[in-house]
Structure formats: structure tokens, C-alpha cells
Structure 1
Amino acid sequence: MTTSQIAQSTTTFPGSARVEMVMGQPVSVDIRTALPARELTPLLDDAFAWLRWVDDTFDPARDDSQIARLNRGGTIEQVPELIEVLHRCETLSEATGGWFEPRIGGVIDPSGYLKGWALERLSRALANAGAGDHRITAGNDIRVRGSSAPGRRWRVGIRDPRTGAVRKVVFAHDLGVATSGGSSVVDPHTGQVVDALGSVTVIGPDLGMADGYATAIYAMGAVRGRRFAGELARAGAYETMIVGRDGQEVVTPGFLDYSGKGARLAG
């Protein structure tokens, strides 16, 4: 059953925030742009309607979802978003050398990319609608845009998905933050669940891509994952923090631009 909470922001920025249960978890949309209530309420209504549509369309566990029908070989609707997601998943698979793989054992499951993609699309839609200052949070996926208060960057705590403790804080006006490790990640080459790392966080301009990269790096394990994270950082847009099972952190150098001092990723 969906629950909803609408409250006026208590910060110095006017706006509105709402939390609802979507995709099996609380999702919050916090808008700080000064808009009248007659505009904010429909924006929030549309935001959660979009997220529920994504869940209904892409959840492989729902018998009537498009993904479930596709897995059964049934007839699917011509949904442009479905084609987009599957194409992006193929792109991620190629970019990661097959370590991100939406099809395992003949079953399509784009969940390693989907939530980040849905939040990224929502963030762009809110910005286009005039709500350029916002934060969207769904579990370990976070998208911030604009300012949390006049002239102030958003402060995002990156939590350990196993303990909930804040491991690092990043500050940004426009950033996607995706952390993998709180749920089962499968090695696409063996079909086995991997558990060699504590967590992987990837930050960058597109939350969907960051989500996919975090999933892939976690599946790769420590050595291969660190190498790929370094290559990804040198390509320019995405930075990574890898946490080992022993709690030790290594980060790509650009990560420090958002979070301050810390361990650097060698090589």
C-alpha cells in the first residue's frame, strides 16, 4: 500500500518534499525551488506517477510487466522507454566488458540500471518544469540538482549499504550518486552472487550510468574493479569509491574534488 507524506521544507529555501513507497522502498523528492503550491503539488503527483509507471513496466517479478512478458516470449507494447533502457543496458555491457549484464540465464532484468535511469529522467523533467533545485533519493541512489539553499551546494552523505553509517560526504550542485553492495550482485560470467567487496560508489553526471558502473565494478571484485575505476576516471566524467570487506577505502582522484581528503586509487 502506498503511503505519502507532504511537508513544507523547513530550510531557508521554500519548496515542498514528499516521500512515498515505490519499487519496494521509500523514495523522496525534495524540491527547493520557490514555486507556488498550485505548481508544486502537481509536480510531485507527476513525479511519483512516473516512478510507479516505471515499476509497473519494468519489474520482472510482476506478471503483467513488459519485462516479464518479454521474458516469457509474449507480446509486448511498443514502449519507447523500454527500447531505451534495453539499449542503454547493452551499451553498459559493452563499456564494462560484459561485467554489467542485464540478461543472465536467459532472463532480462535491467534493475542494475533502471532505478538510476528513472531518477535521472525524473530529475531532468523537474528541471524542465522549472523546479531546478531538488534532491531525489531512492535507497542508495541519489540525484541532486541546483542548490539546497541560496548559493549552497547539496550535502550528500554516502552510507554504507550494510550498516547505514555515513562513510563519506560529497557536496555538489549537479551530481548523481549510486552505491552498489546493499543487495545481491551476480557475476554475469558464473551466475553466482559475489560478495568480495563492501560497497562501490560511483558519482557522475548521469545517475543511470553511475548505477550501472557501480554494479559492474562491484561484480568485478577488488583488483579488476580498481583497474576499471581508474580507466573510467581517466575518461573524464565518473569517479569511484571502492570499500573493501575490511572497511578500507580507495577513491579515484577526482572524487576528492567533491569530498575533500582521502585515500587515492593508485595506478
Structure 2
Amino acid sequence: MSGSAKTFPGSARVEMIMGMPVSVDIRTALPARELTPLLDDAFAWLRWVDDTFSPVKEDSQISRLNSGRTIRQIPELIEVLHRCDELSEATGGYFEPRINGVIDPSGYIKGWALERLSRALCNAGAGDHRITAGNDIRVRGSAAPGKRWRVGIRDPREDLVRKVVFAHDLGIATSGAAPVINPHTGMTSDGLTSVTVIGPDLGLADAYATAVYAMDPLPARRFAADLGGSGAYQTMLVTREGQEITTSGFTNYSGAEARLAG
């Protein structure tokens, strides 16, 4: 390798979990003897989450709960169910983990799991990382010394990048790859093709994206505007006609100023 070639420290790994490739990319300069067990623990955590919360795995705690079987008193299970109830109330029932008596926290659990993992990596000294699972992404620290992470937000229905965001610390969640039921009508929502929510907690961003995607376009725009007014969570809606509608704070991460800073 030539002396001018630039390499990044750290290590990356990809494994299939939750039916999708999940990648953990650590850029912090740590010795291999620390990075390898960190990555081992990261994927062990994600497998545990899948085994515990998957609504399709017969012996998961969620499946046991739905079938009336005995469950283990796991603190994380109680935390997730409580938070899902709070999110249902906060979104006017559009984020609804209980449909026809069946509990399914899928609209929150992936973002929650990645957020918890990101915090654990920081606590372990790996503060520069990117975790990607489908359309959920969590970045922290730097991609390279002094460089923000550059993340392309892909349209889940088309092979194109809708926006590029630049950030040192951000959760990015996009809904649109799979159908979502509008809990108020019981019908599949089809007013929007995708919704992306960015903010400091990926679990909340994931749930908000799910809720907004379940809404009709007008209430979706109102909810996104109210959410953006608080400053913490910003939204991009893509209509069926392909129009992109973003809340004002979204440009702080995707505009010319963000590109120059990155």
C-alpha cells in the first residue's frame, strides 16, 4: 500500500438478523483484541432482541404473550411495551402495537435495539460508528477525523437516493418498504410512498415514521410540522406523485451548509 493511501481505523461486520443484513461499522481506533469482542457482543444483542421480540418466532416472548403462555419478566420487555403505549397516545393512535388483540412492536423495536446498541458502543469506548439495519440507521462520532457521517436516504420503493444527510450524532428511520395499516380505518395506508424521520433517538424516530406513514397526507403533514416545531425530530414525506416535503429543520442536515460542514 502506498504511503499516501488513506485507511480508516476500526472494523466492520455484516450479519443476517431479523431477516435482513445488519451492519456495524466502528471507526474508533481500538486494538483488534477489543474490537472483535465488541462486534461479537453487538450481534449477540441483536439476535437476543430478535429472539425475544419477533412476532413470527413461535417461542419469542411476544408470541408467548399473544398466545396466552407464560412469559419471563424481562425488564426490556416491560420497557418496550410501556413505551409503545406512550407512543400510541403521543401519535393519536396512529402508532398502534396492538391490532385485533395481537401485540406487534415491530414499528419500534428495530430502532430501539439499534439505539441501545449505539449507546453501549459509546460506553465501551467505540464512539465513532454507524449501525444500519434496513432503512434504520444510527450514526455517532465521526466517519474519519473531523468528518461527519454521510448517509444517503434511499427511497424504499425505488432505487434512488432522495436526500443525503451529514451528521455526527443522528438516528434516521424510513418507512415505506412494507405496507402499514391505518389503525383508525383498518385499511392499508397508501397516501404516501415513504416517510423519513431524523432525530436524537432512533427508536422514537422509527415509531414516528411508522405513525406518519399510516396517516393520510394532510394529517401526516400537520403531525410532521408539529413534531418539527419541537426541533428534535424532522421529517421528509414523499407523496405518491413523487413530491418531497420536508420540515424546516431537515435542511440543517441535508442543505448546502451541512455539505460544506461535512
Q: TM-score, normalised by structure 2?
A: 0.94
SS in 1 for 2:223: helix
Distance, in Å, in 2 between the alignment partners of 1:133 and 1:105 is 42
Q: Choose the corresponding residue for 2:79, options 56, 73, 84.
A: 84
Note the 1:155-194 alignment, pairs <5 A. 155-194=150-189
Distance, in Å, in 2 between the alignment partners of 1:118 and 1:44 is 15
Q: Choose the corresponding residue for 1:141, options 124, 127, 136.
A: 136
Distance, in Å, in 1 between the alignment partners of 2:233 and 2:54 is 27
Distance, in Å, in 2 between the alignment partners of 1:12 and 1:101 is 45
Aligned: 1:59 with 2:54 = yes
Shift of 1:91: 1.1
Aligned: 1:27 with 2:25 = no
SS in 2 for 1:78: coil
**Is 1:13–1:150's contact at 8 Å kept on the other side of the alignment?**
no
Q: Could you say which residue in structure 1 is the equivalent of 2:259?
A: none
Q: Could you say which residue in structure 2 is the equivalent of 1:264?
A: none
Aligned: 1:260 with 2:241 = no
Distance, in Å, in 2 between the alignment partners of 1:54 and 1:91 is 20
Q: Choose the corresponding residue for 1:223, options 214, 218, 224.
A: 218
Aligned: 1:95 with 2:98 = no
**Is 1:12–1:149's contact at 8 Å kept on the other side of the alignment?**
no
Q: TM-score, normalised by structure 1?
A: 0.93
Q: Could you say which residue in structure 2 is the equivalent of 1:49?
A: 44
Shift of 1:165: 1.0
Q: RMSD value over aligned CA atoms?
A: 1.0
Q: Choose the corresponding residue for 1:73, options 56, 68, 71.
A: 68
SS in 1 for 2:116: helix
Distance, in Å, in 2 between the alignment partners of 1:221 and 1:120 is 28
Shift of 1:189: 1.7
Distance, in Å, in 1 between the alignment partners of 2:249 and 2:110 is 25
**Is 2:191–2:215's contact at 8 Å kept on the other side of the alignment?**
no
Aligned residue pairs total: 252
Aligned: 1:202 with 2:183 = no
SS in 2 for 1:47: helix
Shift of 1:125: 0.3
Shift of 1:191: 2.3
**Is 1:14–1:32's contact at 8 Å kept on the other side of the alignment?**
yes
Distance, in Å, in 1 between the alignment partners of 2:214 and 2:59 is 30
**Is 2:236–2:246's contact at 8 Å kept on the other side of the alignment?**
yes
Unaligned runs of 5+ in 1: 1-9, 262-267
Q: Could you say which residue in structure 1 is the equivalent of 2:240?
A: 245
SS in 2 for 1:90: helix
Describe the shift of the 1:11–1:91 C-alpha distance in structure 2 as closer, same or farther (beyond 3 A): farther
Cα shift readout 1:30-78 (whole Å, capped 9, x = no counterpart) = 0000000000000000000000000000011111000001001111001
Moved more, 183-192 or 20-29: 183-192
Cα shift readout 1:77-109 (whole Å, capped 9, x = no counterpart) = 010000111111111111101110000010000
**Is 1:15–1:34's contact at 8 Å kept on the other side of the alignment?**
yes
Q: Could you say which residue in structure 2 is the equivalent of 1:235?
A: 230
The ranges of structure 1 where at least 4 consecutive aligned residues each deviate by more than 4 angstroms after the TM superposition are none
SS in 1 for 2:12: strand
Unaligned runs of 5+ in 2: 257-262
Distance, in Å, in 2 between the alignment partners of 1:124 and 1:183 is 28
Shift of 1:11: 6.0
Distance, in Å, in 2 between the alignment partners of 1:195 and 1:42 is 44
**Is 1:120–1:206's contact at 8 Å kept on the other side of the alignment?**
yes
